[in-house]
Amino acid sequence: MTPLIAVDGLVKRYGPHVALAGVSFAVEPGEIVGLLGPNGAGKSTTLGVLATLLAFDAGSVVVGGHALPDAGAAARAVLGLVPQQIAVYPTLSAHENLRYFARVLGLRGEDATRRIADVLDVVGLAPRADEPVLRLSGGMRRRLNLACGIVHDPRVVLLDEPVVGVDPQSRERVFEAIETLARGGAAVLYSTHQMDEAERLCARVVLLDHGRVVASGAPATLVAGAGMTPVVRLRTARPLPTTWLDGIPGTRIADVAGVETAVAVADAASVPAVLAAALATGIDVLDMTLHRPSLADAFFALTGRALRDDDGPGAAP
């Protein structure tokens, strides 16, 4: 299958600063790919290049089968950009915003009317469609922001942290809308630094750091590839004896700090046994949490940086 987004060796410089240093990835039709990385990793620059907003210095970029930058106009006809910023007109209604974007995105007449109605339903804004955006909640505006980017049913969808600051209900609606697009055959590139979003939505992720792809693949594969296991954290009334976990297969003490004990387990199925062993010491267990290894952990393991680092050297200007 020909990918709708194909990036190979993409290099983008801002003066002496290299924002993207040979980024390569592809997104197939119907695929939702997460573009992950801390702020400054190059996510927005990558999306900017794909959206034809930014020129690039080297590499090849193909969007919807159109090679950039020469076929930028053709590429723009097939892509839908959902920027991180809520880029709508605040004094216009949701319907007016959608109608405007539908027309500048090439929709006409009945087609536009139908698509506007559809997308309003998808994002759940139909009841508030005629209210000025200023009166909508932040989550509603986020959904409208998404709707404006997908109203023309694009083959390529570029999402730049589309659910920042969105309430869970709105976020789920946004996710559902994105999944609907993907099911329709669109190639979705979802930029975020929220691992849970990527894990929830993306079949595949691309981890960026300092303008480079540090890893890519299915989230579980990446986590597994980083050699990470779930960790059970216990807080007890008194410190546990050193031998309390002996004899429980697939477990090991990962860390002890007074009454706080971290136990690495091979899988979640071992958690009841760990709890039982702790209780068997006669010491009260005050709290217990299970921490599954995440993409963030994997990213940290791979880069030594947290995904929420904001001041990395790769921050785009």
Partner 1 sequence: MLAGLGAAFAKDLRLLARDRVGLVFLTLAPIVVITVAGLSLANLYGATPHGASAPVLPVVDDDGDWIGRAVRERLVDERSVRARTVATPAEASALVRAGAASAALVIPRGTSAAVVAGQPGALELLTDPVRTVDVAWVRALAQEVRHALESAALERAQQELDAARGDADDARARLAAATTELRTRIATLHDRVAAASARAETARRELAGAVAERQAAARTRIVAELAPLRSFLAELAAARAAFDRWAADVRERAGRFADRFPPPPEPPAVPPEVAALAASDPATLAARLVPADGGLPPLPAFPSFEVPAVPSLALPAPPAGRLPGSLAIVETSVTGAPLRFNTFDQNVPGFSVTFLLLGVLLGVSLGLLDERDWGTLERMRATPTPLSVLLIAKLAARFAVGIVQMLLLFVVGWAVFGVSLGPEPWALALPTAGIVFAGTAFGLVVAGTTRSREAVLPIGSIAILTMAAVGGCWWPLDLEPEWMRRAALAFPTTWAMQAYNDLMIRRQTSGAVLQETAVLFAYGALYLAVGLFLFRRVRASRR
Residues that bind partner 1 (CB under 8 A): 51-55, 73, 76-77, 79, 81, 83, 85-92, 96, 99-101, 103-106, 108, 132, 148-149, 158
Amino acid of residue 288 = M
Minimum Å distance from CB 281 to partner 1? 58
By beta-carbon proximity to partner 1, the closer residue of 52 and 261 is 52
Write down the least CB distance from residue 73 to partner 1, Å.
6
Q: Which is nearer to partner 1, 139 or 149 (CB)?
A: 149
Question: 173: which residues sit within 8 A by CB, 6+ positions away?
Answer: 122, 123, 124, 143
Q: Residue 76 or 128: which CB sits closer to partner 1? A: 76
The rounded distance, in Å, linking the Cα atoms of 255 and 262 is: 5
What is the nearest approach in angstroms of partner 1 to the Cβ of residue 184? 20
Q: Least CB distance from residue 90 to partner 1, whole Å?
A: 7
What contacts 24+ positions apart, CB below 8 Å, involve 294-297? 294/195, 294/196, 294/199, 294/223, 295/36, 295/195, 295/198, 295/199, 295/205, 295/207, 295/219, 295/222, 295/223, 296/195, 297/223, 297/226, 297/228
CB 293 within 8 Å of CB 269: no
**In the numeric block, which tokens belong to residue 120?**
């309003």
Separation CA 98–CA 103 (nearest Å)? 8
Minimum distance of partner 1 from residue 129's CB (angstroms): 15
Name which of 53 and 117 has its Cβ closer to partner 1. 53
Apex CA 195: angle with CA 133 and CA 292, to 5°? 140
Determine which helix (DSSP H) or strand (DSSP E) holds 235, and give its type and residue range: strand 231-236
Report the residue number, 79 or 264, with the smaller CB distance to partner 1: 79
| CA 228 – CA 66 distance, rounded (Å) | 40
| Nearest-approach distance from CB 61 to partner 1, in angstroms | 14
Angle, in degrees to the nearest 10, between helices 168-183 and 109-123: 130
CB 207 within 8 A of CB 214: yes
Run of H or E including 196: helix 195-201
73 or 280: CB nearest partner 1: 73
Q: What is the dihedral of CA 68, 71, 73, 107, to 10 degrees?
A: -110
Closer residue to partner 1 (CB): 22 or 132: 132
Tell the smallest beta-carbon distance from residue 52 to partner 1 (Å).
6
Contact 36, 193 (CB under 8 A): yes
Closest contact distance (angstroms) between CB of 266 and partner 1 is 47
Q: Kindly tell me which of 51 and 177 has the beta carbon lying closer to partner 1.
A: 51
